Amino acid sequence: MGGNESTMAQGAINEFQGPITLAVVGCGESSKGHAAYALSKPTSCKVVAIAEPRRKTRQLFAQAHNIDNALVFNDWKELLKASAKAIETLGRRLADGVIIAVQDHMHRDVVLAFAAQGYHILCETPMAVRLLHCFDMEAAVKKAGIIFGVAHGLRYLPYTKAITEIVRSGTLGELVNVVHVEPVGFYHFAHSYVRGAWAKENRSSFSLMTKSCHDIDLLCYWLSPAIPTRVSSFGSLHHFTKEKKPAAAGGAVRCLECPIERDCPYSARKIYLDPVHRGQTHWPVSVLVDGIPDLENVTDALQNGPYGKCVYESDNNVCDQQVVNIEFSSGATASFTMVAYTSLMCSRQTRLHFTHGEIVGDMSTFTVTDFRTGRKTTHHPENEDGGAGLMPAFVEAVRTNNQACLDTNVAEILKSYLTVFAAENSRKEGKVVDCVAYEKYVREELGK
């Protein structure tokens, strides 16, 4: 886009006569969560254009947001082309910002394309699944001078904000150590990382990236302005393998034909079909079919698709348990555990240790202990969906053209992703990784 067009488009961003307008690229579960803010706060923002290849999903999303048919597209390239035409003929884009929630490996290409047209961008996690892509995105965002965020919803929960205020206030002294656990949930892991879209590293990425980039980002956030200096990691795919398949299952490849299905915690019938019988069609069953899931469609998906396969016969290779240790430039340390085998699902458990106190929390409540007084105080922040806190921050950042509303920037985001890649490098090579040297090395190797 030429300089005059860029200036004209930027000017259009800053002259708001109504709600912030958004385009949504990829209308899956995450986008539904983000876009729900537009339905609940129509005076704040409005979804005006979408791009989605699945016909029924596209129709339902368009109906929910009352989107003009002329602004409903089959894929992101169609939307981008229409936007280029609007810039050329009308001097403005189709929307103020864009939510990008396509498949992980596509993030770089879509972000670069919309950044070049001057759109403010909220990108779904992870930022990207290759380091080169992360660097490319950082450069594109800086060049375009746009608002940019990655959907690290944990940062914006009332629970997290309340803890962050205490960390930054210094009332408990210096933060010296954090112990953080992500209990993924036994059936959640089976759904997403054994049967689902994130099961194979070469089709998506390693599980520390696709599941726990949120957590590494949170650790870096709490311990900033210190930066990671050294990292080590251990982990493996321990259980979801052919070798661990119960002998009594015999040659069964699918749950619906397995003789011991009712005794298996990972039964697809239990996870998907039984809930539909009870009228429950939300996640995870909602992702099995295009449109609204019903008994016929879900049964067909289990009989013919990946979600009906035995977890011990599935085509998966990502870690189901992993630990990460990080040393920061301040001398502080953090330890993180991701594990599949839990009854809790994503309800993180955290201990923050300060020189004069500690915080112990479980994503719902947290208790603060002051060593100087012996006083214990339990806090019950109002918890909301991560998207509900993230979207107001992004919309306000766009409305005011102020990146600070997101309390981060693309350079800080990149730093947390470098830490994730460094941790996986440590796990695979069996060594402690110097984060500064690692960044220097990869930048030289990638010409960045």
Domain boundaries, the chain: 20-151, 155-240+317-389+401-446, 242-304
CA 408, 412, 417, 419: dihedral to nearest 10 degrees?
-130
Q: What is the pTM of this model?
A: 0.92
What is the mean pLDDT of the segment spanning 273-301? 93
* pLDDT number for residue 419: 98
Q: What percent of the chain has pLDDT over 70?
A: 95
Q: Which of 120, 171, 106, 169 is nearest to 149 (CA)?
A: 120
Structure tokens at 71: 């602004």
**Residue 3: band (very low, low, confident or very high) from pLDDT cuts 50, 70, 90:** very low
Position 5 pLDDT exceeds 70: no
pLDDT higher than threshold 50 for residue 327? yes
The H or E element spanning position 445 is helix 435-446
Give, rounded to a whole angstrom, the gap between the first and last alpha carbons of the chain.
24
Q: Across residues 84-106, what is the average pLDDT? A: 96
Tell whether the model's pLDDT for residue 2 goes beyond 50.
no
Instruction: Please check whether residue 126 is in contact with residue 210, taking contact to mean a CB–CB distance below 8 angstroms.
Output: yes
Identify the band that residue 383 occupies on the pLDDT scale cut at 50, 70 and 90. Answer: low
196-199 contacts, C-beta under 8 A, 24 or more apart: 196/287, 196/306, 196/307, 197/103, 198/104, 198/318, 199/306, 199/314, 199/315, 199/316, 199/317, 199/318
The enclosing H or E element of 139 equals helix 131-144
Mean pLDDT over each residue of the chain, to the nearest integer: 93
Structure confidence at residue 18 as a pLDDT band (50, 70, 90): confident
Q: Which pLDDT does position 428 carry in this prediction?
A: 97
Digit-coded pLDDT (tens) for 149-204: 999 999 999 999 999 999 999 999 999 999 999 999 999 999 999 999 999 999 99
Quickly name the fold that domain 155-240+317-389+401-446 has.
Dihydrodipicolinate Reductase; domain 2 (3.30.360)
Residue-level pLDDT at 14: 43
Q: Which fold has domain 20-151?
A: Rossmann fold (3.40.50)
Count, residues in the chain: 448
Q: Is the pLDDT of residue 426 over 70?
A: yes
- pLDDT at residue 276 in the model: 94
Give the mean pLDDT of 264-289: 95
Q: What CA–CA distances, in Å, run from 69 to 36, 45, 49, 56, 184?
A: 20, 19, 9, 14, 39
Digit-coded pLDDT (tens) for 201-218: 999 999 999 999 999 999
274-303 average pLDDT score: 93
- Tens digits of residue pLDDT in 23-67: 999 999 999 999 999 999 999 999 999 999 999 999 999 999 999
Q: What is the pLDDT of residue 10?
A: 41
The tokens 């695979």 sit on which residue?
428
Across the range 4-9, mean pLDDT stands at: 36
